[in-house]
Amino acid sequence: MNNKKFYNNNLVRYYNFTYNFLFKLLNNIEIDLTEDDFKFLKKKGYHNSKGLGTVWLLNLKRLYNIFKKKNYNADYHFIDIGCGNGIPLIYSYKKFDFLTYSGFDFVQKYVKNSKKNIKNSIKHPNNINVFKANAKNFILDDKKSYFIFMFNPFDNKIMKKFLKNNIKILKKNNSVIAYVNYIHLKEILKFSQNIIKVKKYKSAIIQF
């Protein structure tokens, strides 16, 4: 890696880190994922996620901006699959325009932490919900159009299972997946080829 590329990459990391840090500070968010969470998940036997951590919030914002430029006609519901400690959910609630906001995780500890972060950062939370669920058997509401956020929350087998279980609903309501750190993008492309990539940030919007 040449010096210019090394400098640019580190500048991007610093800017993203600072943006996340300030958002958490200004919104009284105290609980975030740490190295201890790797140990916790390993002890529990959970090895699915390949990118444990909190997404750079600007990457989520980039995908939302692409989504808005497409001028979708239907009203959408935001859902964070593998919501961790709820920071992207809180960010979306404060920054974006959806009918409702929800997130789930299959680890009860993170559901509890998300609820604490929401309580600390949102005075009167309306239309926001966090709950425990497992993506491999989770079924979306067939009456809703979804903006589904994923920060590479699980392995390709669970991704395939989630999509197979929900593909009819996704297509029926023109839902989209906003996928950051798209390691398992090939699995999604088996179900839809309607995709907009942001290659620099390994992110994509997939429409069904």
pLDDT in tens, 105-143: 999 999 999 999 999 999 988 899 999 999 999 999 999
For residue 198, the one-letter residue type is: V
Per the CB < 8 A criterion, the answer to whether 180 and 148 are in contact is no
Q: Taking the CA atoms of the chain, what radius of gyration do you get in angstroms?
A: 17
Structural element, H or E, at residue 206: strand 203-207
How high is the mean pLDDT of the chain? 90
Query: 41-93 pLDDT, tens per residue?
Result: 777 666 555 556 789 999 999 999 999 988 666 799 999 999 999 999 999 99
Q: Write down the pLDDT at residue 73.
A: 67
Q: Write down the pLDDT at residue 45.
A: 64
Total domain count for the chain?
A: 1
67 Cβ contact partners less than 8 Å away, ≥ 6 residues apart: 147, 176, 178, 205
Of 69, 110, 117, which is closest to residue 91 (Cα–Cα)? 117
pLDDT band at 152 (very low <50, low <70, confident <90, very high): confident
Q: What is the pTM of this model?
A: 0.91
Q: Write down the pLDDT at residue 120.
A: 96
135 Cβ contact partners less than 8 Å away, ≥ 6 residues apart: 81, 82, 104, 106, 153, 154, 158, 161, 162
Q: Write down the pLDDT at residue 155.
A: 87
CATH classification at residue 152: 3.40.50.150
Structural domain boundaries, residue 19: 3-207
Say how many C-beta atoms besides its own lie within 10 A of residue 205's C-beta: 22
